[in-house]
């Protein structure tokens, strides 16, 4: 690439040499995510991965794709770009693990108005941290410089991941039964959903995002909103390895409880969730108070402090909570599976 430089392309706003500099900056970070199965190195046309299928009767690939959404606007205003990559990975791998699959690899796509190599490196530092948390490899990606399409100081970030599970171990809700308990895994904050509403409520372009606030435990509004999405891969893997018979899993994303919990339920069964069984994080109280948001809308938009819900046999509840605690998760028994067609029922 030493001879690759186009004055004409640069005059149009695309500096290919900045792209090469960005690659050199991120290469060590990318390689730090490599796990057994990775083939080749950064710079090829396609990321290659050789999965270990030992002991699997019928391997099934499970894929997930997502982005960070308008949470990126907060990153722009805060000029902080090293955590949104964690969000991007989390939104993909947390979906994959709902099916019982272990993520193997991740690829990212960064589109920007101007390629600032140091900023790209910050973004990728978050992506690689997310991959390490998810125990998967970053095997490739793309940085697209698109002047005239994005403002020079803005970018978009998306990605996708592929996981693997043996067909007989897929978690699909077929084992769900009345009397199963619901375990909720604590969220780290708003995660990466509902930010169009958040931005409107706080008028973030004109808000004080950097002053510490007592009602946010000493964090600034910007810090609280940028808290990266928690990645639950290790937690679910620990439960499965520990012999817990997980019947169903729901990742609480956009649409909150009312949209996501019913997706893990089967016909004739409803998840009854007790709202007093877990604490609400201060950021949600501030959002509701500032925007005068009805209670139901809060639970139909945000995770409200619970980022993932798992259903499992009541006899294994204590074991599950013990394993989750050992894995570093804050978890609560938040309800039970009952008869009904609502899909989810929230009770005080």
Contact 87, 160 (CB under 8 A): no
Residue-level pLDDT at 242: 98
Instruction: Report the alpha-carbon distance of residue 138 to residue 271 in Å, rounded.
Output: 36
Instruction: Report the alpha-carbon distance of residue 320 to residue 305 in Å, rounded.
Output: 19
Residue-level pLDDT at 4: 65
The pTM for the full model equals 0.94
Residue-level pLDDT at 40: 82
CATH superfamily, domain 7-169, is: PurM-like, N-terminal domain (3.30.1330.10)
> In the chain, where does the domain assigned CATH 3.30.1330.10 lie?
7-169
H helices of the chain, in order, are 7-11, 16-31, 72-78, 84-97, 117-134, 195-202, 221-226, 233-241, 256-260, 282-291, 295-299, 317-326
The number of beta carbons lying within 10 Å of the beta carbon of residue 234 is: 16
Where residue 18 falls (left for φ over 0; alpha for ψ -120 to 50; beta otherwise) is alpha
Q: Terminal CA-to-CA distance of the chain, rounded, Å?
A: 63
Q: pLDDT by residue for the chain (348 residues), tens digit each?
A: 556 666 766 666 777 777 777 778 888 899 999 999 999 877 778 999 999 999 999 999 999 999 999 999 999 999 999 999 999 999 999 999 999 999 999 999 999 999 999 999 999 999 999 999 999 999 999 999 999 999 999 999 999 999 999 999 999 999 999 999 999 999 999 999 999 999 999 999 999 999 999 999 999 999 999 999 999 999 999 999 999 999 999 999 999 999 999 999 998 999 999 999 999 999 999 999 999 999 999 999 999 999 999 999 999 999 999 999 999 999 999 999 999 999 999 999
Residue-level pLDDT at 36: 96
Class of domain 181-347 as given by CATH? alpha beta
Residue-level pLDDT at 160: 97
Residue-level pLDDT at 12: 66
Residue-level pLDDT at 229: 98
Hey, which residues does 271 pair with through a beta bridge?
A: 337, 344
């Amino acid at each position: 690439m030493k001879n690759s430089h186009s004055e004409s392309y640069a005059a149009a706003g695309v500096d290919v040499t900045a792209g090469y500099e960005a690659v050199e900056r991120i290469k060590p970070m990318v390689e730090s995510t490599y796990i057994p199965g990775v083939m080749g190195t950064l710079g090829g046309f396609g990321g290659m991965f050789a999965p270990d299928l030992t002991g699997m009767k019928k391997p099934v690939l499970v894929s997930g794709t997502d982005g960070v959404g308008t949470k990126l606007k907060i990153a722009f205003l805060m000029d902080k770009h090293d955590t949104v990559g964690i969000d991007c990975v989390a939104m993909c791998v947390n979906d994959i693990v709902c099916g019982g699959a272990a993520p193997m690899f991740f690829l990212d796509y960064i589109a920007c108005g101007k390629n600032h190599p140091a900023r790209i490196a910050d973004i990728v530092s978050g992506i690689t941290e997310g991959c390490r948390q998810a125990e998967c490899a970053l095997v490739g990606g793309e940085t697209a410089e698109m002047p005239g399409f994005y403002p020079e100081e803005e970018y978009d970030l998306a990605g996708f991941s592929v996981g693997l599970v043996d067909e007989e171990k897929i978690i699909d809700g077929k084992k769900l039964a009345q009397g199963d308990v619901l375990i909720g895994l604590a969220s780290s904050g708003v995660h990466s959903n509902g930010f169009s509403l958040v931005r409107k409520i706080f008028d973030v372009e004109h808000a004080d995002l950097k002053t510490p606030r007592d009602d946010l435990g000493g964090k600034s509004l910007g810090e609280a909103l940028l808290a990266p999405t928690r990645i639950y891969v290790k937690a679910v893997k620990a439960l499965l390895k520990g012999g817990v018979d997980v019947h169903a899993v729901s990742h609480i994303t956009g649409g909150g409880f009312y949209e996501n919990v019913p997706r893990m339920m089967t016909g004739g069964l409803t998840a009854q969730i007790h709202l007093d069984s877990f604490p609400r994080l201060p950021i949600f109280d501030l959002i509701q108070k500032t925007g005068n948001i009805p209670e139901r809308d809060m639970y139909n938009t945000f995770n409200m402090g619970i980022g993932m819900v798992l259903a499992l046999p009541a006899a294994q509840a204590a074991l599950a909570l013990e394993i989750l605690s050992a894995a570093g998760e804050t978890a609560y028994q938040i309800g039970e599976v009952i008869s009904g067609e609502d899909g989810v029922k929230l009770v005080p």
